[in-house]
C-alpha cells in the first residue's frame, strides 16, 4: 500500500536509470578495457608484439617484380641459346651429310648401271628418292630424261650421217663429226649440266646452279644449230635433210626425223631451263653464296693446298738462298 502514499500533486523526482549500480559496473569495466587496448603495439589474442612495418605488402610486391623480370629474361636467353645450339647441330649434320654424299661411305656407286663382271665400275651414286627433296624430284628426273633423249638423238644423228655418207661420198666430214659429237657430247652433257643440276637440287648449291645455267645456255644454242643442220657440221638437220630429199627420199625422211629430234631437244631444253630457274629462285640461292662456295671449295681443296704449300716453300727457300 506504500505506492498509494505518494502525493500525486508533488514535484516529480529526477531518476537517472544509468545510476543503477549494475549498469555503472558494466560500463566502467568496458571503458577500462578500451583504454588499455593499443592495436599498434600488442596482440590481445596471444600477447605477441607485432612490429608496425611487418604487415606492409606493397614494398614486397615492388621488390619481387625485378626478380620476376630477371628470371623471365634469363629463361628467354636460355631458350635462345638452346635454339642456336639446335640450329648449329642441324647445320653440322647437313654439312656431314653433304660430305657423305660427295664421298659416300658404305654406298657403292650405282651409275652407270653396269654388270658386276664388267671391267669398268660405276662412277657416280644416284638416288632421286634418297638424295633429292620431294619438291625437286620431278624436275630432276625430267633433266635426267632430257639427257637420255639427248644421247639417243646423237646416236640417231650418227646413223643418219652414215646413211647420207653411203649416198654422197663427199659427206664423209659429216659422218666423222657425228661420231665425234656422239662420243664427246654424251658424257660431257652428263658431267657438265646434268650432274651440276642434280647436285644443286641435292645440296642447295648456288655454285652448281650458276654452273648449270652457264653450260646449259650454250647447250640450248648447240641444239638450235643442230636442228638447223648446217652442211659439214656433222648434224642431220633441216637443211641437210632437204638437200638429200632431191636424191634419196628414204634417207631424207630419216634425216628429217633426226631434225625433228634436234628441234624437240631445243624446245624441251628451253622449257626445262625456265623450270629450273623458277625452282632456283625458291631455294634462296644467290651469286654471293656461289662465290663463297667456290672460294671455300678452292681453299679446302687438297690439290690447291698442296700446290700453295709447294709454292710457299719454294719462295721461302729462294729467299734464304
CA distance 280 to 213: 10
pLDDT at 320: 47
**Residue entry with cell 505506492:** 3
pLDDT at 79: 85
Domain boundaries, the chain: 133-287
User: Which tens digit of pLDDT belongs to each residue from 75-102?
Assistant: 888 888 888 888 888 777 777 666 555 5
What is the model's pTM?
0.61
The neighbour count for residue 243, using CB atoms within 10 Å, is 16
The neighbour count for residue 258, using CB atoms within 10 Å, is 29
Q: Is residue 31 classed exposed, middle or buried when 0-12, 13-18 and 19+ CB atoms within 10 A define those classes?
A: exposed
Q: Hey, what's the cell of 32?
A: 577500462
Mean pLDDT of 98-116: 70
CA distance 168 to 251: 11
Position with higher pLDDT, 303 vs 164:
164
Beta bridge partners of 124: 111
pLDDT at 193: 95
Which of 169-183, 211-225, 270-284 bottoms out in mean pLDDT, i.e. has the lowest?
270-284
Percentage of the chain modeled with pLDDT above 90? 40
Amino acid at each position: 500500500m506504500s505506492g498509494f502514499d505518494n502525493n500525486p500533486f508533488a514535484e516529480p523526482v529526477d531518476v537517472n536509470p544509468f545510476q543503477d549500480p549494475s549498469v555503472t559496473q558494466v560500463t566502467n569495466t568496458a571503458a577500462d578495457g578500451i583504454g588499455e587496448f593499443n592495436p599498434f603495439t600488442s596482440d590481445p589474442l596471444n600477447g605477441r608484439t607485432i612490429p608496425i612495418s611487418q604487415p606492409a605488402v606493397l614494398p614486397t610486391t615492388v621488390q619481387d617484380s625485378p626478380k620476376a623480370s630477371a628470371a623471365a629474361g634469363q629463361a628467354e636467353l636460355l631458350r635462345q641459346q638452346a635454339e642456336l645450339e639446335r640450329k648449329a647441330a642441324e647445320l653440322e649434320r647437313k654439312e656431314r651429310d653433304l660430305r657423305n654424299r660427295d664421298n659416300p661411305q658404305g654406298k657403292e656407286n650405282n651409275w652407270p648401271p653396269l654388270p658386276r663382271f664388267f671391267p669398268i665400275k660405276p662412277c657416280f651414286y644416284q638416288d632421286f628418292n634418297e638424295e633429292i627433296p620431294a619438291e625437286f624430284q620431278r624436275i630432276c628426273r625430267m633433266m635426267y630424261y632430257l639427257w637420255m633423249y639427248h644421247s639417243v638423238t646423237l646416236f640417231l644423228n650418227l646413223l643418219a650421217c652414215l646413211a647420207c655418207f653411203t649416198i654422197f661420198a663427199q659427206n664423209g666430214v659429216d659422218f666423222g663429226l657425228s661420231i665425234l659429237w656422239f662420243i664427246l657430247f654424251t658424257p660431257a652433257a652428263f658431267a657438265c649440266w646434268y650432274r651440276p643440276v642434280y647436285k644443286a637440287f641435292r645440296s642447295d648449291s648456288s655454285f652448281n646452279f650458276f654452273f648449270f645455267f652457264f653450260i646449259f645456255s650454250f647447250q640450248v644454242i648447240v641444239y638450235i644449230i643442230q636442228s638447223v643442220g648446217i652442211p659439214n657440221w656433222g648434224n642431220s638437220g633441216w637443211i641437210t635433210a632437204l638437200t638429200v630429199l632431191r636424191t634419196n627420199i628414204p634417207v631424207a625422211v630419216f634425216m628429217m626425223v633426226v631434225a625433228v629430234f634436234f628441234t624437240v631437244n631445243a624446245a624441251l631444253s628451253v622449257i626445262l631451263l625456265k623450270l629450273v630457274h623458277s625452282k632456283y629462285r625458291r631455294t634462296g640461292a644467290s651469286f654471293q653464296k656461289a662465290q663463297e662456295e667456290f672460294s671455300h671449295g678452292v681453299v679446302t681443296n687438297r690439290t690447291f693446298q698442296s700446290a700453295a704449300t709447294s709454292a710457299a716453300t719454294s719462295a721461302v727457300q729462294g729467299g734464304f738462298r
